[in-house]
Structure 1
Amino acid sequence: MIRLETDEEKHINFMERIYAGEKIEADDWMPDEYRNVLIKLISMHGISEIMGALPEKEWVPKAPTLKRKLGIMAKVQDEMGHGQLLLRVTEDLIKPLGKTREDIMEDLFNGKLKFHNVFHMEAPTWGDAGLIGWLIDGAAIITQTNMLNASYGPYARALKRICAEEVFHAQHGEAIILALAEGTDEQKRMVQQAVERWWEPLLMFFGPGDAKAVGTSKQDITAKYRIRSKSNEELRQDFFTKYVPRILSIGLTIPDPSMHYDQEQEKWIYQQPDWEKFKEIVRNKGPKSQERLRLRKLSYENNEWVREALARPNDAR
């Protein structure tokens, strides 16, 4: 008589596989907690890629040259592709729960599924478009490379492709910023003003630090299951180390007079952003939250006929 494993034994074996460096695949047994944290993380990442294309899409018709127009169009296409890839990964996770991609989109529209705080913000100038590519995508690369060895195989493999393309996006944004920083006084002011607008959202990008994590936080769970290795604050410090010297080197000013590197503590000291404001933004109360959600919903509804056509059996087409 074959004895079936108990859930406790399955969980022990599962954790042993993770800590041995094995990858978990979509069809493998996994604890509910692991599945749920992956669904939340990857669906938010996927939707954020799609919503993140919207601020830059606004600049496609307004880009200053044909070369810049082609560059930002290609970037928008890439971001939409990243979103579709990640939502496909999410679909495999939610399928055993009887859910579909339509449920993911409904969760976005009814506020259950959040998208990244930075994509609720305004991008009023070409300097903002460049800064999104340079610093926002730069922050994304730091976050995503931290999960390249994630224990969930499909996500880790998707991230390898996404991170490779994000490097080009960051270079594209940096090229725009450098051109403006070396331009006229008006162009330099445009970049400085963009930095001032985006500095607080950039600090919020990585989420609240360890001191804000009370009880069992998502940070704890993702570390426990070897989905990521660094905390929010460690990632933010990595961002400072890489980008603060670069920002200063092109003559821009960090809008935080208190910011400096403490040699004894071996970390950057900075003014904390308003985390209550952060909570409001991710509840879809940011400057552009509702406008971008309306645009996404309109696009989803207008293209319903395409989804229906693709879902028909081959003999019905």
Structure 2
Amino acid sequence: MYIYGGTVASEENSIENQQKYNEFMAKIEADEKIEADDWMPEEYRKTLIKLISMHGISEIMGALPEKEWVPKAPTLKRKLGIMAKVQDEMGHGQLLLRVTEDLMKPYGRNRVHLMEDLLKGDLKFHNVFHMPTKTWADAGVVGWLVDGAAIISQTNMLDASYGPYQRALKRICQEEVFHAQHGESIIMSLAEGTKEQREILQDSINRWWSSLLMFFGPASASTTGTSKQEVTTKYRIRKSSNEELRQAFLDKYLPRIFSLDFSVPDETVHYDKDKEIWVYQQPDWNEFKKIISNNGPRSQQRLRLREVAYTNNRWVREALA
């Protein structure tokens, strides 16, 4: 079996034990939580490892674009706010990697392997965190819209069948609400500011719009061949599809963007009252695959920064070990 490109020891093929599998599915259907030491099918375990490790690494890598603005924040209050947000995101990452580590024990793997997989390119992180943050408005857009999208995605799994992940998400989502409010505060300050500040904010929305649409992933596996929606839904890890989540995001944020007299870079965007959905131009899913394969605008710089930190602090891990 392979996880993120590394060979690991195979679990006994207990999926053939139909009785255990039936009991497992009955437990999920009864809304009971699966715990780390419970029996689970290999497909379920592998799906969780891939999902939660990607989420955890994305929290850590996601702190890097905003970290760039800590020394450049316009006021002391803004500096303290974004520093606190960066600290929270790192904490989320550590919490989620702990959850992943418990799942990887049967394969003899731990968080060290996850970080090595990231640096080798075998473990992906979210598309939005490969993008540059060129202006202070980007810090606002990341907090308001990117974290807003994350809240929609994560609250979709607040009743996930895997107990440790569900409990971690409950704490993370509570803190993400503050992050979104932090971003909204920056946005409102710029929106109520000078003509130049509004132009900077409009430029930021334009540059981030495609990444925000990509955030939830393709509508179907046929788009990129990478969708795992059916598996996560079957095991009640998540409830809604990628497109349903994207529509929820558009429902919430497009009216807010328009109410501030800003636009999005898509002339086709409109609400279809008959179908009760937002119509929009699909992003370039080939570009999406390129970005998440570490070929985005800031992919290599951010990975290099993570590698330097990992290497320079090796002595701490060795001392603790």
User: Structure 1 length normalisation: TM-score?
Assistant: 0.95
**Residue 195 of structure 1 aligns with which residue?**
205
Determine if contact 2:52/2:96 at 8 Å carries over to the other structure.
Answer: yes
Please point out which of 244, 250, 261 is paired with 2:260: 250
Structure 2 distance, partners of 1:214, 1:292, is 24
Please point out which of 38, 50, 63 is paired with 1:53: 63
**Residue 148 of structure 1 aligns with which residue?**
158
Q: Which runs of 5+ in 2 are unaligned?
A: 1-13
Structure 2 distance, partners of 1:124, 1:264, is 40
* Per-residue Cα deviation, 1:60-115 (whole angstroms, up to 9, x for no partner): 00000000000000000000000000000000000111111111011101111000
Structure 2 distance, partners of 1:191, 1:309, is 46
User: Structure 2 length normalisation: TM-score?
Assistant: 0.94
Quote the sequence identity (%). 70
Determine if contact 2:218/2:227 at 8 Å carries over to the other structure.
Answer: no
* Per-residue Cα deviation, 1:26-46 (whole angstroms, up to 9, x for no partner): 000000000000000000000
Please point out which of 217, 227, 250 is paired with 2:237: 227
Please point out which of 11, 16, 22 is paired with 2:32: 22
> Which runs of structure 2 are paired with 1:86-165 in the superposition (5 Å)?
86-165=96-175
* Per-residue Cα deviation, 1:192-229 (whole angstroms, up to 9, x for no partner): 00000000000000000137368894100000000000
Q: Which runs of 4+ in 1 moved over 2 A?
A: 210-217
Structure 2 distance, partners of 1:220, 1:254, is 31
> Which runs of structure 2 are paired with 1:252-271 in the superposition (5 Å)?
252-271=262-281
**Residue 254 of structure 1: CA displacement?**
1.3
Structure 2 distance, partners of 1:137, 1:7, is 42
Query: Is residue 284 from structure 1 mapped to residue 294 from structure 2 by the alignment?
Result: yes
Query: For residue 220 of structure 1, what is the amino acid of its counterpart?
Result: E
Structure 1 distance, partners of 2:290, 2:93, is 24
Q: How many residues align?
A: 308
Structure 1 distance, partners of 2:267, 2:21, is 50
Structure 1 distance, partners of 2:128, 2:94, is 20
Q: Which runs of 5+ in 1 are unaligned?
A: 312-317
Please point out which of 297, 301, 307 is paired with 2:307: 297
Query: For residue 115 of structure 2, what is the amino acid of its counterpart?
Result: M
Structure 1 distance, partners of 2:251, 2:116, is 39
**Residue 310 of structure 1: CA displacement?**
1.3
Determine if contact 2:221/2:228 at 8 Å carries over to the other structure.
Answer: no
> Which runs of structure 2 are paired with 1:200-215 in the superposition (5 Å)?
200-210=210-220, 212=222
Cα 1:216–1:56, aligned 2, differ >3 Å: closer, same or farther?
closer
Structure 1 range deviating more: 214-223 or 227-236? 214-223
Structure 1 distance, partners of 2:178, 2:95, is 18
**Residue 37 of structure 1 aligns with which residue?**
47
Determine if contact 2:73/2:136 at 8 Å carries over to the other structure.
Answer: yes
* Per-residue Cα deviation, 1:5-51 (whole angstroms, up to 9, x for no partner): 96211111100000010000000000000000000000000000000
Query: For residue 255 of structure 1, what is the amino acid of its counterpart?
Result: P
Structure 2 distance, partners of 1:64, 1:106, is 36
Please point out which of 61, 80, 105 is paired with 1:70: 80
